[in-house]
Structure 1
Amino acid sequence: MFAFTSRTVTAGTVSALALAIALTSAGAQEQIDLDRIVVTPNRTPTEESKVGSTVNTVTQEQIERESRPVIVDYLNQIPGISLASQGGLGKETSLSIRGADKKYVETLFNGIDISDTTATQVQTSFEHVLADGITGIEVLKGSQSILYGSDAVAGVINITTLPDPNEMGLTQRMLIEGGSHETARAAYALANVTDRSRFSLNLGGLYTGGISAALVNGAPTVDSNASGLEDDFYQNITGSFAGEFQLTDNFSVFGTGFIVRSKGDFDDSGLPPTDNTLNTGRFDQHAGRFGFNLDLLDGRFRNTVSVQLAEIDRDVLTVSAFGPFEGNYQGRRSKLDYQGAFDITDRLTLQFGGDVEEQRAWITNNYGTNTDDRASIAGIWTQLVAEPIDNLTLSAGIRHDEHSEFGGFTSYRGTAAYLFEQTGTKLRASIGTGFRAPSLYELNYVSFDPTVPLPDLDPEESLSWDIGIDQYFMDGNARASLTYFQLDTDNLIDYDFVNDTYIQFPGTTRRNGVEAEIAYAVNGWLEIGGSYTYTHAEQEDGERRPRIPEHMFGLSASAEPWERWTISASAKVALDTVDLVSPSYGTYDRVPLDDYVLVNAKIGYKPTEDSELYLRVENLLDQDYQTVHGYGTPGFSVFAGFRAKFGP
């Protein structure tokens, strides 16, 4: 018999030990322990005190405490992250990290890249990712292209469903919920952990009658029933599994897979949109990843090999005065990856690896602008992690990629972290470069104007850096952090409204700002937190980038004021945001969006230690707000639910 040790690096490694979220457990106050926190910015478990990048985590405890349906509900509470949604649940949602939108963000689900190769830009459809069954989310900010490839210009979002390796035995979880907008959801999770394996199986379903995102008399509506507009329904069924199995002392295998089946209605897109009762969409995705870990030389030489395949199949039907538009989009990504790590000494580790990836896109529609294209990219990388003196950790890495269309590109990354143990002060910094190749959609975009040629595009190049300080105080029960960040992108690719095509904008687009955060475990039953983000995102022509709030504030609190009762609440304030509006075809202007305060709350009662009846409210203040100009958002909404856990 031998002890099982996890080698697959996912956000679940930190789910039970997250720093700012899980400061306390019921009835007992815990101190922050820097040495026991592990994260994945180096694609290998690392003590939090040795990490030079900015890292935020969402734990399984937080997900269960708040019981929100989709992962963007939790990501939206992280400093530096903003959302722009074109309506209610299931409608297109853009996520930005430090002012850079989701085409610059690498998103992994149990190690699988889940971005859509057929989208306008290669990016993740976050609106379809349910939170059910997720045991941890980790967000790494700043350029991570050395370890994660060219898409990771602004950061990495790492999602896992693997169970906590310390939660031994067979565990089952279930949830049912219903409420406003004819919304219903249910979820079931099965997990098993032994001394040599861990495994999870998850199934979740969501249905909502939705709201209308369209306008009424030139103003957005958040109550489509009162306005007489058609509600836009949405439904989603998601299943996933993940497992790790230790076969010998130095060899283990792992595998994961998931499937998403979703569909819904949507209103006419535009700046702003209009109501439409005929538009429909379907989004299906399935993916798998399998591999093995092999340790040699008494564990000093560690190797991981994996292969993954992800496919997307989606349909869009849009009906307008010009007739129906029917499009089918099929995408595929296949990837082979190797990662190695060799401990030269106890203070010096050499990491290295390589990967080969192919992206395919098949796009057909009744306008005759069909696409069948592919692109491949192969990369090799290495990184050295050193601890020259106690409490100082340095890393430096380099990567070279060869793109089938655009040739070679070399990027680099470096980090530094130093901990002053006596004062609980940590200084950190990181710098990195990256590039983003044009997507297959951008390269093959056909303008409605037949005189406009296909886009002639080159890759974007970027440089990002940040510097920050973390302070731990009050006997380890509180943490404060402050970070300055900057991301410069050259040769930005964007849509040209005048000529209906994609073009390259010469010059530098700069996104810079400040993040501040504090978390405090007041006592054994109360936790509070707050954050502030200033983001200035400016194009090469001096105009502000749309849909990025210049100021964001976040507040959160969770309490157990009485035995069996829990209360949690969060608030997000967004100030000074601009968006685009099109007064006529081929023209656009910038307009301000109203500031808003979005408050969500939940109260729960535990009939037993492992069950809960709860009532939660979204948009408690019934704010009329928009994150995309002209698109309505849900008003005051209330939901009732029950969750339970069975097992040890």
Structure 2
Amino acid sequence: MKLCVKILTSLLLSLFVVVVWARAEEPGKPEKVKEKKETKTVLEEVTVTAAPYTPPVTPVDTPYGTQYNVVTEEQIKLQNSYDFPSTLRDVPGVFFQNKNLLGSQTSHSLYIRGRGASHPSSDLAIEFDGVPRFGALFGQVLGDSIAVSTIGGMKVYKSPQPSQFGSGYALVSVLPRYMMNEGEEATLDASGGSYSTFDQRLSAGLKKGPIDVYASQSWVSTDGHRDHSDASQQSYYANMGYQISKQWNLRLLANYVKSRTEAPMPDTAPTTINGVSWPGAERYDTETFLTTLTLSHQYENFGGYIKPYWNHTDFDLIQELTNGQRYAGGTGGLHSQQQIRLYGIRGREKLNLWPGGEILVGADLDMTDLKNTQRTYSGLAVAGINGGLAKRVWDFPDTQLLSPYVAMNQTIGTKEGFHLIPSTGVRYYNHDQFEDKWAPQGGLVIGYGNTDLNINYARGVNYPTPVVLMNFVLQSSSVANASRYWRTIKPEVVDHYEAGITHTWPNRGSVGATVFRDQGKDRFRAYMYGPIPTQFNDTIGHYEIRGLELTGTVTPFKNLEFFAGATWLKAEATGSDRIERDHLPYTPGFQFQAGVNWGFLEYYRLFMDMQHVRDVYQGTSFRTGGFTISDLSHANKLSDFTLVNARVSRRLDFLPARLGDSEVFFAVNNIFDQKYEYAKGYPMPGTTYFAGMSIKFH
């Protein structure tokens, strides 16, 4: 019945779009011809190849009193990023964990303003082309499923914004590459460097008349800076569009990615979890296929889209080494395979029906089909929970989450002078397994000219991933009427308060300051082992994160720009035992990012950036025990570190060969050979060197 309601809602949304379209096409209502601009207007879910450079520290203000940061394709190139986590290294308030030169690991690995260290959980959402693309079982980021060659840009939402995304406290939205400009182009990128690192990318695009096609293939690999730290990734990508009419466009995207990342042995001895010795080295194999079909439209006073999607991911976690010895036949070694199917349909419509007014209405229907299978290499019994079985299978219930939303804002005044923009919105979550929730938001923008004060409140809702049901859905489980337990689980909620002020000097610089406060409650736990919990949500404990961000850019001369961002975080948490803690895992006390982008001698460009981090404690906020907060001692504190990186390039243009926007480059990471680590016992590489070229034909 619920599924029928959800399908009906989606059909009604589709019908709404068609009706509005039909009314717009009624005879007797001549179409207004807008002045043709040099740059094509595109929907916010789509980005453009070769987008202009924008510093990632500069927040973008919205009419809802909120902000987000942008990482452009050009910024990613200047950073010489080889994997997904490294593309985010210059965004204030964003921190990631790694153990390799490139490649990602399972569990938590990305943190935004102190959120993301819970396990299992999906505190952070990752979207590609506006649809989910992450580990929906344990809530992993699964960065290995996203190839850098397919990223046309990213929007980073660092706080709950119900009008922009659903479940989760923050969002990284990856905008895909596609062909925009009329004509043809082909690009070959190749680079290599320390530890036999190699990166190769081949892409080609065509836009002629109503048709545009963009396709790419990429391969990146490294031997790693330590034993057992190899990584590789291959990707095949296509994005095709057809302009049905002046207002309507149909676009098909498909992407296949296959990756392997090996986690090295720690310097310290393996730990013990639930009485079982956890191996010191593992391998992560990721194979994923994503496709989206987008029907979009843009009229003078309204525009929107409908987007069905399908994402099929197999993620294998393989234990390979323990105590420095490789597992031999018959001695164990676990192999866990997560089968993740994410599918659904999303739709949105933006209406500008009167001067200065905007109404945003939409709905997300997201469904999952999840399974986890664990076995040994030898086929012997798996030790641990529920006795010795040759394999263990967790067949999780299919989930359906329908989240319709509506928001509106009204601009009073003019951008050049005094202006006032009040806004409000709400999203409703209807989940077929867990409790339903409402998430309101409200905002106010007060500004004069190039100065804006943004004030907003929003409620974030974080739904459990189905792994919280783990010991209920084990095929050998003897729990009767298990559904009566998990239907009492409530999602976590956080009340977010934020105020920010920004001022810009066009073409000269900008400054900004943002203060925020998160107050969370209803922390949920997972039934992964031990006795059945008598309570799944903590009604006593709470947590709070307060922060301040300062950002600035300055362009003293043409082709010379400096940027910087600083973030201070203060965390406090109280468990059901009423014991207070003043540290949370991977919540830096202070974080500073800065850089310079300098074009000189007509053809040369120098880009340098730095990351400084202080007062970081490693750890995981486990949800498998009670509602106590782990005490992070000095032994959990990571050493403060400062990384400095540089890249210098020389542009190549040779018009007779139709060669343009090409370059050769040389890059150095960790110039001063800083000793640092993101997790105890896993030292990161010292100074590394890379060189390469990009040849583009038009």
| Smaller-chain TM-score bracket | 0.7 to 0.9
Which amino acid letter does the alignment assign opposite residue 614 of structure 1?
F
Deviates more, 1:564-573 or 1:102-111: 102-111
Which residue in the other structure is 1:115 paired with? Answer: 134
Which amino acid letter does the alignment assign opposite residue 602 of structure 1?
R
| Structure-2 separation of matches of 1:443 and 1:108 | 24
CA offset at residue 156 of structure 1?
Answer: 4.0
Deviations 1:2-21 (A, max 9, x none): 98955542262697356546
Within-5 A mapping of 1:592-611: 592-608=637-653, 610-611=661-662
- 8 Å CA contact 2:410–2:421 kept in 1: the answer is yes
CA offset at residue 618 of structure 1?
Answer: 1.3
| Structure-2 separation of matches of 1:447 and 1:287 | 27
| Structure-2 separation of matches of 1:313 and 1:494 | 25
| Structure-2 separation of matches of 1:198 and 1:512 | 46
Which amino acid letter does the alignment assign opposite residue 544 of structure 2?
R
Deviations 1:96-123 (A, max 9, x none): 11111172222221223111222x22x4
Greater C-alpha Rg:
2
**SS at 1:181 equivalent:** helix
Name stretches of at least 5 consecutive residues in structure 1 with no aligned partner. 24-36, 40-47, 212-223, 225-229
| Structure-1 separation of matches of 2:215 and 2:677 | 37
CA offset at residue 133 of structure 1?
Answer: 3.9
| Structure-2 separation of matches of 1:355 and 1:414 | 21
Name stretches of at least 5 consecutive residues in structure 2 with no aligned partner. 1-32, 272-277, 324-330, 376-381, 383-390, 654-659
| Structure-2 separation of matches of 1:405 and 1:277 | 36
Deviations 1:334-368 (A, max 9, x none): 11122223322122222212222211111111234
| Structure-1 separation of matches of 2:531 and 2:260 | 28
CA offset at residue 476 of structure 1?
Answer: 3.8
| Structure-2 separation of matches of 1:195 and 1:467 | 46
Pair 1:327 & 2:324 matched: no
Deviations 1:545-564 (A, max 9, x none): 11221101111012123232
Deviations 1:147-194 (A, max 9, x none): 32113x22443332134x4x3322222210111111111012223345
The alignment yields a C-alpha RMSD, in angstroms, of: 3.4
Quickly say closer, same or farther: Cα 1:22–1:536, change in 2 above 3 A.
closer
Deviates more, 1:103-112 or 1:76-85: 103-112
Which residue in the other structure is 1:76 paired with? Answer: 89
Quickly say closer, same or farther: Cα 1:535–1:193, change in 2 above 3 A.
farther
Which residue in the other structure is 1:62 paired with? Answer: 75
Which residue in the other structure is 1:105 paired with? Answer: 124
Which amino acid letter does the alignment assign opposite residue 466 of structure 1?
E
**SS at 1:143 equivalent:** coil
Quickly say closer, same or farther: Cα 1:629–1:479, change in 2 above 3 A.
same
Which amino acid letter does the alignment assign opposite residue 149 of structure 2?
D
Which residue in the other structure is 1:232 paired with? Answer: 229
Which residue in the other structure is 2:496 paired with? Answer: 464
Pair 1:570 & 2:609 matched: yes
CA offset at residue 241 of structure 1?
Answer: 2.0
Which residue in the other structure is 2:248 paired with? Answer: 251
Deviations 1:604-643 (A, max 9, x none): 2234352222111111111111112222212111111111
Quickly say closer, same or farther: Cα 1:488–1:173, change in 2 above 3 A.
farther
| Structure-2 separation of matches of 1:138 and 1:78 | 10
Which residue in the other structure is 1:482 paired with? Answer: 513
- 8 Å CA contact 1:554–1:570 kept in 2: the answer is yes
CA offset at residue 283 of structure 1?
Answer: 0.6
Pair 1:393 & 2:421 matched: yes
CA offset at residue 258 of structure 1?
Answer: 1.1
Match among 525, 532, 547 for residue 586 of structure 2: 547
| Structure-1 separation of matches of 2:286 and 2:131 | 18
| Structure-2 separation of matches of 1:71 and 1:399 | 30
Which residue in the other structure is 1:94 paired with? Answer: 109
| Structure-1 separation of matches of 2:116 and 2:319 | 25
Match among 336, 340, 357 for residue 349 of structure 2: 340
**SS at 1:147 equivalent:** coil
Deviates more, 1:67-76 or 1:550-559: 67-76
**SS at 1:87 equivalent:** coil
Quickly say closer, same or farther: Cα 1:478–1:62, change in 2 above 3 A.
same
| Structure-2 separation of matches of 1:241 and 1:644 | 20
**SS at 1:593 equivalent:** coil
Pair 1:635 & 2:638 matched: no
Quickly say closer, same or farther: Cα 1:452–1:100, change in 2 above 3 A.
farther
Which residue in the other structure is 2:435 paired with? Answer: 407
Which residue in the other structure is 1:371 paired with? Answer: 394
Match among 455, 459, 465 for residue 429 of structure 1: 455
Which residue in the other structure is 1:142 paired with? Answer: 159
| Structure-2 separation of matches of 1:64 and 1:331 | 31
Deviates more, 1:504-513 or 1:514-523: 504-513
CA offset at residue 397 of structure 1?
Answer: 0.8
Which amino acid letter does the alignment assign opposite residue 649 of structure 2?
G
Deviations 1:387-442 (A, max 9, x none): 13333223211111110112321111222223311xx2111122211211211112
**SS at 1:100 equivalent:** coil
Which residue in the other structure is 2:170 paired with? Answer: 154
Higher relative contact order (CA 8 A, sep 6+): 1
**SS at 2:413 equivalent:** coil
CA offset at residue 281 of structure 1?
Answer: 2.6
Quickly say closer, same or farther: Cα 1:269–1:438, change in 2 above 3 A.
farther
| Structure-2 separation of matches of 1:155 and 1:91 | 18
Which residue in the other structure is 2:553 paired with? Answer: 519
- 8 Å CA contact 2:162–2:426 kept in 1: the answer is no
| Structure-2 separation of matches of 1:501 and 1:206 | 45
Quickly say closer, same or farther: Cα 1:208–1:344, change in 2 above 3 A.
same
CA offset at residue 500 of structure 1?
Answer: 9.9
Within-5 A mapping of 1:8-23: 8-10=43-45, 12=47, 16=51, 19-20=54-55
Match among 486, 489, 492 for residue 523 of structure 2: 492
**SS at 2:557 equivalent:** coil
Deviates more, 1:336-345 or 1:186-195: 186-195
Deviations 1:195-245 (A, max 9, x none): 64544212211111113xxxxxxxxxxxx3xxxxx2321110012222332
| Structure-2 separation of matches of 1:380 and 1:606 | 48
| Structure-1 separation of matches of 2:604 and 2:175 | 29
Match among 157, 174, 188 for residue 188 of structure 2: 174
Quickly say closer, same or farther: Cα 1:588–1:462, change in 2 above 3 A.
closer
| Structure-2 separation of matches of 1:131 and 1:258 | 12
| Structure-1 separation of matches of 2:281 and 2:76 | 35
| Structure-1 separation of matches of 2:70 and 2:162 | 20
| Higher strand fraction (1 or 2) | 1
- 8 Å CA contact 2:646–2:667 kept in 1: the answer is yes
| Structure-2 separation of matches of 1:307 and 1:271 | 47
Which residue in the other structure is 1:284 paired with? Answer: 287
**SS at 2:219 equivalent:** strand
**Would you say how many aligned residue pairs link Structure 1 and Structure 2?**
595
- 8 Å CA contact 1:247–1:253 kept in 2: the answer is yes
Within-5 A mapping of 1:608-623: 608=653, 610-623=661-674
- 8 Å CA contact 1:237–1:262 kept in 2: the answer is yes
| Structure-2 separation of matches of 1:369 and 1:548 | 35
**SS at 2:244 equivalent:** strand
Which amino acid letter does the alignment assign opposite residue 643 of structure 2?
L
CA offset at residue 517 of structure 1?
Answer: 0.8
Match among 262, 284, 296 for residue 259 of structure 2: 262
**SS at 2:412 equivalent:** coil
TM-score w.r.t. the length of structure 2 is 0.78
- 8 Å CA contact 2:64–2:409 kept in 1: the answer is no
Which amino acid letter does the alignment assign opposite residue 408 of structure 1?
D
